[in-house]
């Protein structure tokens, strides 16, 4: 079994995150990049399968600028066997469709049984790229699942939608995306960190994928028209309860026609 885990490096959600006001692109200089938490959970799903099935190979795949290699190193130290870094100046600032095209091309360079991604990133929150990858590769997609169970020829899970929970199944090879309900990821241990240095990281450029940068400019694409930072919210009235705060709050709500 070979499992490829898609990893996205994102700005840490515990810090202030910024956009470049001219381009609308992420301002990467303002925050530390980390592996998106849901991707760590996806990696955990793959590693748990590997723990109980000898001979399983887990590969972390990420597209991103130079610094993305740190995220891949962490994935290796957690237990992934190898990593692929999709790195090319012509990938920078690409929209979801272009990103999915490059990732699909990278996946075509290698054989695999299962692709595991996160259901949505904490920065873009589009929840779209894995579904696009599945469609481009004509593979079944089980999106937003938890309780993932990987079998030798199929994968199952529980998909919680607005109106209920679905039990879903797909034959392998397939693409799945996991949610926050998946188990929390393990921490890298000392041995993992030592061995990570010796594990292979392959870097792929667009040329390696036979993708022509001119395809991007010719392709349909999303274009940012304007970027506006909202003014930060101002703190309002703050009182210390001296025994009547509940009544005062009721008056505040009534005055605002909120009762």
Partner 1 sequence: MSNILVLVELSTAGNISRSAGELLSLASTLGTPVAVLATPHVAPGIVTELGSLGAQHVFLGQTETEPMLLLTPQVEALWQAVQKFRPSAVLASSTIDGREAAARLVARTEGVLLANAVAVRFDGERIVATNSVFGGSYSVESTAEGGLPIITVQSGVLEGRAPEVAAHVTVHHLTLNPEGSGVVEGSTAVVASSRPDLRTAGKVVSGGRGMGSKENFALVEELADVLDAAVGASRAAVDAGYVAQSSQVGQTGVSVTPELYIALGISGAIQHRAGMQTAKTIVAINSDEDAPIFDVADFGIVGDVFAVVPQLISAIRSRSQGSS
In the range 68-107, which residues lie near partner 1 by CB under 8 A?
Answer: 95-97, 100
Which of helix, strand or coil describes residue 11?
Answer: strand
Cβ proximity of 18 and 43 under 8 Å: no
Tell me whether residue 194 or residue 227 sits nearer to partner 1 (CB atom).
227
CB of 26 to partner 1, least distance (A): 9
CB of 97 to partner 1, least distance (A): 6
CB of 34 to partner 1, least distance (A): 13
The 190-229 contact track toward partner 1, x by CB under 8 A, reads ----------------------------xxxxxxxxxxxx
Query: Which listed residue (16, 22, 111, 153) binds partner 1 by CB under 8 A?
Result: 16
Query: Which listed residue (30, 92, 109, 171) binds partner 1 by CB under 8 A?
Result: 171
Cβ proximity of 157 and 148 under 8 Å: yes
Judged by CB under 8 A, the number of residues near partner 1 is 88
Query: Which listed residue (1, 48, 93, 128) binds partner 1 by CB under 8 A?
Result: 128
Tell me whether residue 153 or residue 226 sits nearer to partner 1 (CB atom).
226
Residue 233 binds to partner 1 (criterion: CB under 8 A): yes
Tell me whether residue 7 or residue 76 sits nearer to partner 1 (CB atom).
7
- Find tokens 């190979």 and name the residue: 57
- Find tokens 């891949």 and name the residue: 72
Short-list 1, 5, 83, CA closest to 44: 5
- Find tokens 């009182």 and name the residue: 239
- Restricting to residues 27-56, name those near partner 1 by CB under 8 A: 37-38
Cβ proximity of 103 and 6 under 8 Å: yes
HEC string for 133-202? HHHHCCCCEEEEEEEEEECCCEEEEEEEECCEEEEEEEECCEEEEECCCCCCCCCCCHHHHHHHCCCCEE
Query: Which listed residue (127, 193, 203, 208) binds partner 1 by CB under 8 A?
Result: 127
CB of 239 to partner 1, least distance (A): 6
User: What are 235's two structure tokens?
Assistant: 């703190």
Residue 83 CA to chain centroid, in angstroms? 16
Query: Which listed residue (89, 194, 207, 254) binds partner 1 by CB under 8 A?
Result: 254
């Amino acid at each position: 079994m070979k499992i490829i885990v898609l990893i996205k490096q994102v700005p840490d959600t515990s810090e202030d995150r910024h956009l470049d006001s001219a381009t609308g692109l992420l301002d990467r200089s303002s925050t530390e990049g980390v592996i998106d938490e849901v991707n760590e959970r996806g990696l955990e799903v793959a590693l748990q399968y590997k723990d109980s099935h000898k001979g399983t190979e887990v590969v972390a795949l990420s597209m991103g600028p130079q610094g993305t290699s740190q995220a891949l190193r962490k994935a290796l130290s957690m237990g992934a066997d190898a990593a692929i870094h999709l790195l090319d100046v012509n990938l920078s600032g690409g929209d979801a469709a272009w990103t999915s095209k490059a990732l699909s091309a990278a996946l075509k360079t290698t054989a695999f049984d299962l692709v595991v991604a996160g259901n949505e990133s904490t920065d873009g929150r589009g929840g779209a790229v894995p579904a696009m990858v599945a469609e481009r590769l004509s593979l079944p997609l089980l999106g937003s699942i938890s309780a993932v169970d990987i079998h030798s020829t199929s994968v199952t899970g529980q998909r919680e939608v607005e109106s209920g929970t679905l039990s879903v199944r797909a034959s392998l090879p397939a693409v799945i995306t996991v949610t926050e309900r998946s188990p929390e990821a393990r921490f890298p241990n000392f041995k993992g960190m030592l061995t990570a240095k010796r594990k292979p990281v392959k870097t792929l450029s667009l040329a390696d994928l036979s993708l022509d940068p001119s395809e991007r400019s010719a392709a349909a694409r999303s274009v940012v028209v304007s970027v506006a930072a909202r003014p930060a919210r101002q703190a309002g009235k703050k009182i210390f309860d001296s025994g009547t705060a509940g009544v005062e709050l009721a008056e505040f709500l009534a005055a605002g026609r909120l009762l």
